[in-house]
Amino acid sequence: MTESTPGRSAAEPASPVLSSPLVDVQGKSDGRRVPIDRVGVKNVRYPISLATPAGGAHAGPRQHTIARIDMYVSLPHHQKGTHMSRFLEVLNEHHDGLPSHDVMNLCRAIRERLEAEDAHLRLEFPYFIDKRAPVTGQPGKLDIEVVLEAHASGSEPGPDAPIGPASPGFTMTVRVPATSLCPCSKEISAYGAHNQRCEMEASVRFFPGKRMWIEDLFAIVEGCASTQVFSTLKRPDEKFVTEAAYDNPKFVEDIVRDLAMAMEADDRVSWYRVGSENFESIHSHNAYAQLEHAKSAEPQ
């Protein structure tokens, strides 16, 4: 017969009793005098909830997805290690959803909880855009890749600084599939021209007080390809898309220059990096181009 403690069932485990405080090994000093730029947790899979244009920033329909999250802080030379569990503690405080306008706040919370000079946050996730076929109007969803990045530092402006996507430390990136058609092939061929899928990428930062929906940036980027891609196409749609690409041939250089011109014309964007990779259909290699530019001042 097994004895049990009064007031507790035999099946209930006893609570552990600590005879002395546990040693904080991470908090010990380190004599090598080598600071670390980034230390933390990588590739955390976590559910997030994103605001959509239909619902606005704080209410209405939201899109739920799964993000891969990286969280890092800087570590001074005198500290042995960081406290890994604190990253997840901060993240779990946002378990009801992590809208894009809250990414900078989360990054700042990580820096404060870890008592670090710098904090870095990166979220990468699939995002779905509703797209109807160009002729028949068949409904479909196009998946794109989105990356939200934030950097918070001790040298940031004070508590009255912008806390949303307008913050200087916030970057939004979209990777958009599309179609490109080779101008040279069209010019030299008696009939037809080779075309291929391409993946366009744009990373942007914003002027203070400005913001942009994922859908906004997607539309800008998609419009710079030879033509769009769709998840559902009937024969009339396929004819339209094929001919649209033929009528709008672009080298990878054309795509990137058009992307740059679109970013220059957008008064929300303060900095951008744009690129395109064309998955060649008649070569064993891909074609690629990229450029980066920071605007000198906000347009008046």
Among 165, 147, 95, 155, which Cα is nearest to 119's?
Answer: 155
pLDDT in single tens digits along all 300 residues of the chain: 445 455 555 566 666 666 677 766 666 777 788 999 999 999 999 998 888 887 666 666 788 999 999 999 999 999 999 999 999 999 998 766 666 668 888 999 999 999 999 999 999 999 999 999 999 999 999 999 999 999 999 765 544 444 444 456 899 999 999 999 999 999 999 998 998 999 999 999 999 989 899 999 999 999 999 999 999 999 999 999 999 999 999 999 999 999 999 999 999 999 999 999 999 888 899 999 999 999 987 666
Alpha carbons 270 and 295: distance in angstroms, whole number? 5
What are phi and psi for residue 153, nearest 5 degrees? -135, 165
- Whole-number pLDDT of residue 54: 77
Q: What is the pLDDT of residue 22?
A: 74
Whose structure tokens read 């906004």?
216
In the structure encoding, which two tokens stand for residue 214, read together?
A: 């994922």
Whether residue 49 contacts residue 62, with contact meaning beta carbons closer than 8 Å, is answered with: yes
**In this predicted structure, what is the pLDDT of residue 29?**
77
Q: What is the pLDDT of residue 59?
A: 61
- Helices 252-265 and 214-222, axial angle in degrees (round to 10): 140
Report the pLDDT value the prediction gives residue 223, as an integer from 0 to 100: 96
CA dist 137 to 66, 134, 188, Å? 29, 6, 35
Per-residue b/e over 75-96, b at no fewer than 16 CB within 10 Å? beeebeebeeebbeebbeebee
pTM (2 d.p.): 0.85
pLDDT number for residue 300 = 62
> Two tokens at 104?
């900078």
Rg (CA), the chain: 25
Buried b / exposed e across 4-40, counting CB within 10 Å, b at 16+? eeeeeeeeeeeeeeeeeeeeeeeeeeeeeeeebeebb
Q: Tokens 């559910």 label which residue?
A: 47
**Displacement of CA 141 from its chain's centroid (Å):** 19
Packed helices 103-113 and 84-92: angle between N→C axes, nearest 10 degrees? 140
Residue 231, φ and ψ in degrees, nearest 5:
-80, -25
Strands (E), the chain: 36-51, 62-75, 118-130, 141-153, 170-181, 195-206, 269-278, 287-294
Tokens of 37: 């730029």
Measured CA to CA, the distance from residue 199 to residue 274 in angstroms comes to 11
